[in-house]
Chains A and B, each alone.
Chain A
Amino acid sequence: MNLEHWSKLWHLFIMFLKIGPVTFGGGYAMIPVIEQEVVEKRKWLESKDVADVFAVAGSVPGAIAINSATFIGYRIAGVAGAIAATIGILLPTFCIVLAFSIFFLGMKDNPKVEAAFISIRATIVALIVYAAYKTGKTAIIDKASLLLVLTTVALMYFTHNQIHPILLILGGAIAGIVIIGIRTRLGRKTILHEKEQVYDYMI
């Protein structure tokens, strides 16, 4: 590795270090910042490439913000670039959450904090319902997908959470392939999303 390569890695690391805290607004809040840095300022990638990266980042497991950083780092500077970008985007939020962790461990037994958390717990239930609502809007597109959703809830409820979610998720992928396979054989089409949907808070 020559000096130029090291300097590129360093710039990648610093760029994503600065973007890290921006991910507060969701993975896609990064797009304009990345466009400006990577496309306009440094001319490492074209605007089209950045759009491609964000389109794929939602299909790989994991958070969109981190996946996009890894992807862009990889495209600019190979494996080392991917690692530099990933560490860069993780480091600021890692430190912030660590500070939160220490702060809340110290405050745990404060009666005011305890009272606050009793209310926050109900808000978290609402947040999860909201996540279900948002995912459901893109997941439930016909009767078969609605049936899959209801079956999952029923299975979890009646087996008292005894089925491992990983098995269900794998089963879901197989069910999707089977359902759409049968439909295609019958000559019916299913309108599938062109791209993965954008969840503004779901990073």
Chain B
Amino acid sequence: MLIELFITFFLIGLVSFGGGYAMIPLIQEQIVNQHGWMDQQHFIDTIAIASMAPGPIATNIAVLIGYNEKGLLGAVIATMGTVLPSVIIILILGKIFYKIQDHSLVKSSFYGLRAIITGLIIYTAYMFADTNGMFASMSWYTWSQILIFAGSLAAFIVFHKHPVSVIILSALVGIAVYS
């Protein structure tokens, strides 16, 4: 189980180009679809908690899932798995990376990579919205979810608010509306 946890997060770390939220489709695929370690709703909650803490989102998610599965040792193993691929790559390529970074092949592969990652993120957003019941038949609940979604999106894109403040505000709205 610990080895499985390590290999899973090692794979995630290996291909997580772009950092940040670009890694979420990969983590989702490994954790929810392949291993079934948590359901989708629990995974969305995990992202929420990871976004509220300082530090990179991917390692934060690794700590949360590792702890959830196997306690403190699980958290350590999952974090190591996420970080190790980049450490190894930097140690091997450290000296030559400055040169190959500007190579046209590297640049053209990033041209394709970025587009695919954007597509994966869009699909993940759709899947999460579906899990939340935002595409269900129109009810009071669906409308409230769409309103909170639209308000949060405006806070990010128009008002450039930090995720932490938007999540805290959203939590207060949730307590007022849903309890």
Contacts and interface: CB of A to CB of B under 8 A. Distances in A.
Given A82-B87, A101-B49, A66 B59 contact: yes
A124 B148 CA distance: 10
A20 to B, nearest CB: 7
Contacts of A168: 116, 119-120
Q: What's the interface size class on B, roughly?
A: 35 or more
A31 interface: no
Given A115-B178, A116-B174, A116-B175, A127 B21 contact: yes
A125 B111 contact: no
A179 to B, nearest CB: 7
Q: Which 7 A-B pairs have the closest CB atoms?
A: A176-B112, A152-B119, A119-B174, A93-B55, A202-B20, A172-B116, A63-B56
23 contacts: A60-B93, A61-B16, A66-B59, A90-B55, A101-B67, A101-B75, A104-B49, A118-B174, A119-B174, A125-B128, A127-B51, A130-B157, A131-B24, A133-B157, A156-B120, A161-B29, A173-B113, A174-B112, A175-B112, A180-B104, A180-B107, A192-B111, A199-B20
Contacts of A166: 11, 15, 26
B43 to A, nearest CB: 10
A71 to B, nearest CB: 6
Contacts of A203: 19-20, 55-57
B108 A192 contact: yes
Nearest to B171: A116
Nearest to B105: A177
Contacts of A199: 19-20
Interface residues of A, number: 102
B31 interface: no
Interface in B43-97: 44-45, 47-60, 63-64, 67-68, 72, 75, 79, 82-83, 85-87, 89-91, 93-94, 97
Contacts of B128: 121, 124-125, 128
Is the contact region of chain B dominated by helix, strand, or loop, or is it mixed?
helix
Interface in A64-97: 64-67, 70-71, 74-75, 79, 82-83, 86, 90, 92-94, 96-97
Given A90-B59, A179-B108, A124 B115 contact: no
Contacts of B175: 112, 115-116, 119
Contacts of B148: 119, 122-123
Contacts of A140: 115, 118
Given A128-B128, A176-B113, 13 more contacts: A60-B90, A70-B87, A97-B55, A101-B49, A122-B132, A131-B22, A132-B125, A133-B157, A161-B123, A165-B15, A177-B112, A179-B108, A201-B163
